[in-house]
């Protein structure tokens, strides 16, 4: 019954935010071009790396493209849901409108995380999937059910980790009020997800798997996709994702205790 | 008399904006951190010995990326976002009445921010040298002087481009998506992620006619002591500035005629 209510509310969210976004049609078109150019740009960058080298960190060009496509999909998801919603938290807190969210008879994290949607991110997701299909052809990967479920599990875990990272940073707004630039720092770190983890030096590899688990987000799904991932890595990713999700939830509830409205 | 009042205007603007920026020290520190992508790229380059193929030694490459970081720090521009916000909230109207082009205000904002940012950039450079002690070098005074000028010119180019984009606000209200579009070629072609020297021939043949390599690559090469054409670079920068300035003048006068005050 509860789930039905949330589904119904979400349908309304979708409806209103799509209607609002479609007001700016040229904007969406420009965003589409941006997404395409950005993909071309990163493939160009990778091709520079592979100009005179056959492998980078043990990855061939065709394999590195898989990381690129998964990055594009995840970036599309970030632009569709995380970016428009979670940056809104900053606004809610600065202007004191978080009061209205908290008063609603609905879970505040649900409301804050899914209220808005940015349709131009969809194209990035589609682009990513097209590249992934292309990669499947050039890497000669055969689809089967177990492989597909494993891939889905890892990519869902990646989405959860990514969401939790964003949510963490945005929740700190309750104390620091302005966190635009903390988001920029996160963005610049996430940029690393375009490249295989093994191409970095040992110390950075540790940093990107322990402190900011960017390594998990793109590299492990790509390895699963290539069929070279070990089981413990997949299990580890599931555990990390669960821990992140639970902690982000706890952290939000904890932070709310410190929320002291604006102008009152 | 006239120059005296102009001096006073500039001084007052800078003073106000500088004290304004000092309020946001943490913000600016975080922003400085978000610019460390060149260091990650350096890590990929040296860790995979990619630089051997382009005949740049490890040390020169690390200096290049450090300089790219510095140039980027002092040529970050966000005028379009400020202007878009001001124009959507109707704050542009009072600015237009004042006997001072509102872009001077934004210009002072940027300069003040750069002054605030300077110590943070130095701290990051200090840490860079701790990790890479072999790349320490002291550029001679004339090089330092020339590269400061070219960094400033690079900032001017980007400021003018964004101001032109900002003027589109008079027509479309949301101009920042155009800026995001333009940011993609800036990111991949300016030399922030890979020195232009490493680009394939089919790109090198035309890239020096565009403004992009003069944004990061040219000043960074100059400062780090890599080989570059000083005279050619500076004159191309100036040419672009003159051209962009003329375009800006045109579009500004057309835009202000078109302007319909928001929220009034």
Give pLDDT tens digits for B138-161: 888 999 999 999 999 999 999 999
**A263 has a pLDDT exceeding 60:** no
Give the Cα separation of A137 and B29 in Å (integer): 45
B24 touches chain A (CB under 8 A): yes
Residue, of B238 and A182, whose pLDDT is higher: B238
Which residue of chain B has the CA closest to A202?
Answer: B47
| Closest by CA position to B167, among listed B89, B65, B253 | B253
A27 touches chain B (CB under 8 A): yes
Helix or strand run (H / E) with residue A44: helix A25-49
Q: What angle do CA A68, A70, A73 make, to 5 degrees?
A: 110
Q: Look at B8-12, B78-82, B165-169 and tell me which has the smallest mean pLDDT.
A: B8-12
**A164 has a pLDDT exceeding 90:** yes
Of B24, B37, B177, the CB nearest to A30: B177
Per the prediction, chain B carries an average pLDDT of 88
Q: Report the gap between the CA of B173 and the closest CA in chain A (Å).
A: 10
* Exposed e or buried b per residue across A220-248, where buried means at least 16 C-beta atoms within 10 angstroms of its C-beta: bbbbbbbeebeeebbebbbebbeebbeeb
DSSP code, position A70: H
Assign B63 a pLDDT band (cuts: 50, 70, 90). Answer: very high
3-state secondary structure of A142: coil
Which residue of chain A has the CA closest to B197?
Answer: A48
Assign A258 a pLDDT band (cuts: 50, 70, 90). Answer: confident
CB B241, CB B160: distance < 8 Å: yes
CB A170, CB A179: distance < 8 Å: yes
Assign B172 a pLDDT band (cuts: 50, 70, 90). Answer: confident
Give the Cα separation of B258 and B251 in Å (integer): 10
DSSP one-letter string for B169-196: HHHHS--HHHHHHHHHHHHHHSSSSS-G
* pLDDT at site B89: 80
Please provide residue A261's backbone torsions phi and psi, each rounded to the nearest 5 degrees. Answer: 35, 165
**A1 has a pLDDT exceeding 70:** no
Q: Report the gap between the CA of B75 and the closest CA in chain A (Å).
A: 16
Test the A interface: residue of B28, B29, B34 with most A CBs within 10 Å: B34
Residue, of B26 and B44, whose pLDDT is higher: B44
B55 touches chain A (CB under 8 A): no
The predicted model gives B215-243 an average pLDDT of 92
User: What residues contact A179, with CB distance under 8 A and at least 6 apart?
Assistant: A90, A169, A170, A172, A173
Assign A76 a pLDDT band (cuts: 50, 70, 90). Answer: very high
**A108 has a pLDDT exceeding 70:** yes
Interface of A with B in 149-208 (CB under 8 A): 176, 178, 180-182, 184-185, 187-188, 191-192, 195, 199-201, 204
B188 touches chain A (CB under 8 A): yes
Q: How many helices (H) and strands (E) are present in chain B, helices listed first?
A: 13, 0
**B27 has a pLDDT exceeding 60:** yes
* pLDDT at site B239: 96
* pLDDT at site B154: 96
The predicted model gives B52-57 an average pLDDT of 80
Give the Cα separation of B136 and B183 in Å (integer): 31
**A8 has a pLDDT exceeding 70:** yes
Per the prediction, chain A carries an average pLDDT of 87
ipTM of the complex: 0.86
Give the Cα separation of B166 and B174 in Å (integer): 9
| Closest by CA position to B241, among listed B152, B147, B112, B111 | B152
Contact A49 B185 (CB under 8 A): no
**B109 has a pLDDT exceeding 80:** yes
**B1 has a pLDDT exceeding 60:** no
* pLDDT at site A262: 64
The predicted model gives B36-63 an average pLDDT of 86
* pLDDT at site A90: 82
Assign B34 a pLDDT band (cuts: 50, 70, 90). Answer: confident
Contact B44 A47 (CB under 8 A): no
Give the Cα separation of B137 and B144 in Å (integer): 12
**Own/partner long-range contacts of B183-189 (Cβ < 8 Å, ≥24 apart):** B184/A34, B184/A37, B184/A38, B184/A41, B185/A37, B185/A41, B185/B210, B185/B212, B186/B158, B186/B212, B186/B215, B187/A41, B188/A41, B188/A42, B188/A44, B188/A45, B189/B213
CB contacts, 8 Å: B37 with chain A = 188, 191
Residue A97 exposed, middle or buried by CB count within 10 Å (0-12, 13-18, 19+): middle
pLDDT tens-digit profile of B231-257? 999 999 999 999 999 999 999 999 888
Q: Which of A82-86, B10-14, B121-125, B242-246 has the highest mean pLDDT?
A: B242-246
Q: Report the gap between the CA of B256 and the closest CA in chain A (Å).
A: 22
pLDDT tens-digit profile of B112-130? 889 888 999 999 999 999 9
The predicted model gives B214-231 an average pLDDT of 91
**A130 has a pLDDT exceeding 90:** yes
Q: Report the gap between the CA of B7 and the closest CA in chain A (Å).
A: 33
CB A13, CB A106: distance < 8 Å: no
| Owner of token pair 């669960």 | A242
Give the Cα separation of B169 and B81 in Å (integer): 10
**B262 has a pLDDT exceeding 70:** no
| Closest by CA position to A222, among listed A138, A155, A162 | A155
Q: Would you state the structure tokens that stand for residue B59, as one six-digit string?
A: 């040390």
Q: Cα–chain-centroid distance for residue B252?
A: 21
Assign A162 a pLDDT band (cuts: 50, 70, 90). Answer: very high
Helix or strand run (H / E) with residue A55: strand A55-56
| Contacts A–B by Cβ distance under 8 A | 90
Which residue of chain A has the CA closest to B193?
Answer: A45
Interface of B with A in 123-182 (CB under 8 A): 172, 174, 177-178, 180-181
């Amino acid at each position: 019954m509860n789930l039905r209510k949330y589904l119904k509310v979400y349908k309304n969210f979708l409806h209103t935010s799509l209607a609002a976004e479609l007001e700016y049609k040229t904007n969406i078109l420009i965003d589409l071009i941006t997404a395409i150019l950005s993909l071309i740009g990163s493939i160009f960058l990778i091709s520079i790396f592979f100009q005179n080298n056959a492998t980078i960190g043990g990855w061939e060009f065709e394999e590195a493209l898989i990381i690129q496509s998964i990055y594009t999909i995840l970036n599309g998801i970030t632009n569709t849901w995380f970016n428009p919603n979670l940056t809104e938290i900053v606004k809610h807190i600065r202007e004191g409108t978080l009061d209205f969210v908290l008063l609603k008879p609905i879970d505040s994290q649900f409301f804050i995380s899914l209220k808005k949607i940015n349709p131009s991110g969809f194209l990035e997701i589609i682009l990513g999937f097209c590249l992934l299909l292309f990669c499947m052809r050039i890497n000669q990967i055969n689809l089967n059910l177990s492989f597909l479920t494993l891939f889905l599990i890892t990519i869902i875990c990646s989405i959860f980790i990514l969401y939790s990272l964003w949510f963490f940073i945005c929740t700190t707004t309750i104390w620091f009020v302005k966190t635009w630039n903390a988001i920029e720092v996160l963005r610049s770190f996430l940029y690393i997800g375009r490249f295989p983890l093994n191409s970095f030096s040992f110390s950075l590899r540790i940093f990107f798997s322990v402190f900011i688990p960017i390594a998990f987000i793109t590299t492990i799904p790509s390895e699963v996709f290539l069929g070279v991932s070990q089981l413990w890595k997949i299990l580890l990713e599931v555990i990390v994702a669960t821990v992140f999700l639970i902690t982000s939830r706890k952290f939000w509830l904890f932070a709310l205790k410190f929320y002291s409205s604006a102008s009152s | 008399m006239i120059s005296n009042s102009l001096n006073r205007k500039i001084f007052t603007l800078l003073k106000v904006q500088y004290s304004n920026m000092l309020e946001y020290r943490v913000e600016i520190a975080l922003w400085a951190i978000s610019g460390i992508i060149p260091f990650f790229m350096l890590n990929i380059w040296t860790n995979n010995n990619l630089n051997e193929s382009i005949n740049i030694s490890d040390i020169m490459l690390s200096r290049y990326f450090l300089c790219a970081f510095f140039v980027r720090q002092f040529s970050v521009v966000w005028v379009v976002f400020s202007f878009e916000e001001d124009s959507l909230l109707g704050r542009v109207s009072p600015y237009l009445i004042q006997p001072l082009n509102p872009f001077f205000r934004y210009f002072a904002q940027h300069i003040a921010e750069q002054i605030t940012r300077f110590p943070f950039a130095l701290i990051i450079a200090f840490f860079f040298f701790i990790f890479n002690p072999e790349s320490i070098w002291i550029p001679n005074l004339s090089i330092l002087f020339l590269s400061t000028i070219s960094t400033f010119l690079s900032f001017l180019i980007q400021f003018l481009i964004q101001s032109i984009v900002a003027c589109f606000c008079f027509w479309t209200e949301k101009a920042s998506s155009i800026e995001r579009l333009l940011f993609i070629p800036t990111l991949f072609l300016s030399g922030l992620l890979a020195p232009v020297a490493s680009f394939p021939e089919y790109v090198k043949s035309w890239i020096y006619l565009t403004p992009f390599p003069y944004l990061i690559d040219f000043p960074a090469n100059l400062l780090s002591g890599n080989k570059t054409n000083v005279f050619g670079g500076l004159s191309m920068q100036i040419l672009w500035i003159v051209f962009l300035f003329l375009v800006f003048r045109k579009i500004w006068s057309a835009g202000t005629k078109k302007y319909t005050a928001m929220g009034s």
